Structure 1
């Protein structure tokens, strides 16, 4: 994957404060990486005509146009990334339209609203749907999060996704001139931890995994010597470890694998759990092959 967003950044807006905050974050990311920024406002189209279809369509189109106009006014004369800004209005649900754009850009940025657990399970959200099914990286900016450069980046890594995830985290830390905390969680519960301590073979494999991760981090540190990096090994819930002591001024980077969005929400995947609760922007970097 690209970790410089050279193919551009796309941000979805709907006129809400959350989406305008996502716009601010995306504009800063475009400046940092000298990337092209495209702003997309979408409007849903009913699958079948119904009474009042025309009026509903016109109202949805008007709302999308107003959202696009609000985004243009928000940016004023600013040219994110030093390039011309593109603002487009398209038919379709936000998740579908943005996932299509994810095929031709490096990063999609969206805001996050405060849906409760039942709403997210039954209705979903644009942010969780994109994070689950997008072909590229997705940044989710919750209400109240800082939209400037973070003071610290926290990245959660597993043994099978370090190259993409660590690479993105180190590149962001270098570009944003901030510290990086690499978090790896092992022994997710007391029983597992006890078994590891009792089984010499399992314990040996466990230590080898930690050494391998430390080696990975060391190699990235050599590539980005300007990044102050700390490696933290924790036991417990992976999502809980990543969420601990977060503030709106953090940026969290997590790895994800594509899967149906509803399944991802129901199974409470680590990226989805972090997306639901983090008070700061979250960058989901997809790794490996799509899951069936």
Structure 2
């Protein structure tokens, strides 16, 4: 594995938004960006033309080449000096992206979420790739036409509107961040202009050793972009509390359970606070649905980071229900970090 970043391109607004995000991240890392397009019918260079139509060989791959060259030109203009390479692969996109993930440090893909039925079908390849990717994978969505998609709410603290992402062809130079201007009501520090800096939101399970790989990705990203980290743990309340009926009638039991989780989260985060002293950290422990709370908290975040377990070869890779939910509904870019 090298330190390069690979972005999958298919000519959609989502893939262009992903390319723009990947370019900013490559610039922050000092990494090279590879633009990859896979088409199973791609012709090898020098293949004879189609004698039935008279189309010369150089035109048969026209749209595949245009997909990568158009993105390359836009990125070269917006990010002068960024090392870029392009690659056309004669393979199905899923196989090509999984092969690329074994060779790079980060894989970036466009995502349409669940705004409509078609978007679920179009996003199926991205979800399968994320479930099997050897490298951390980031899903980036473009700003939907007509405004932002609706976001399931997780309570009053989650009511801020999602910040729009870049749309197709909109690759003009921006501040070196991951999503856009800060929201003064969200956790974070201040940038030089006094604006609140959007946080890197990370879902943490203090009970899993694998949290270390997820936290490493979140804190390293925040450190590179001078951003804060917002660590969220969603606590499943003990059965005895539910046995009392409505948990609201047992506030002392609920608070006792949450206090224990807060202490565990604080302990898990301590080494990362020491390792990244410049990164401000906010800790949140809440009871309820992990998927709903993470989606709500992601409104206004610059990046949401979650983990997924690597699967033995004999098992069919799949994403857990929480990762599935945030992949479909979180308005900000989503990083899915594989761990053992």
Do the two structures share a fold, i.e. TM-score over 0.5?
A: yes
Unpaired runs of 5+ in structure 1? 47-51
Distance 1:130 1:60 in 2: 28
1:174 aligned residue: 223
Aligned pair in 2 of structure 1 residues 149, 83: CA closer, same or farther (>3 Å)?
Answer: closer
Kept in 1: contact 2:228–2:280 (CA 8 A): yes
For 1:1-292, list aligned pairs within 5 A.
Answer: 7-45=3-41, 61-77=61-77, 84-114=83-113, 125-144=124-143, 145-146=164-165, 148-150=177-179, 151-158=198-205, 159-160=207-208, 161-187=210-236, 193-194=241-242, 210-247=262-299, 249-258=301-310, 264=318, 269-288=321-340
The alignment partner of 1:230 has SS state of strand
Higher helix share: 1
Q: CA RMSD in A?
A: 3.7
The alignment partner of 1:244 has SS state of helix
Q: Deviation string for 1:225-263 (max 9, x for gaps)?
A: 111101111111111111114336521000012459987
**By how many angstroms is 1:136 displaced?**
1.2
Larger Rg: 2
1:49 aligned residue: none
Q: Deviation string for 1:20-71 (max 9, x for gaps)?
A: 110010000001111121110111349xxxxx9x98x998833221101111
Distance 2:36 2:139 in 1: 15
After superposing the two structures, state which structure 1 stretch, 251-260 or 231-240, moved more. Answer: 251-260
Higher strand share: 1
The alignment partner of 2:61 has SS state of helix
TM-score normalized by the length of structure 1: 0.79
Q: How many residues are aligned here?
A: 272
The alignment partner of 2:108 has SS state of strand
Distance 1:164 1:34 in 2: 21
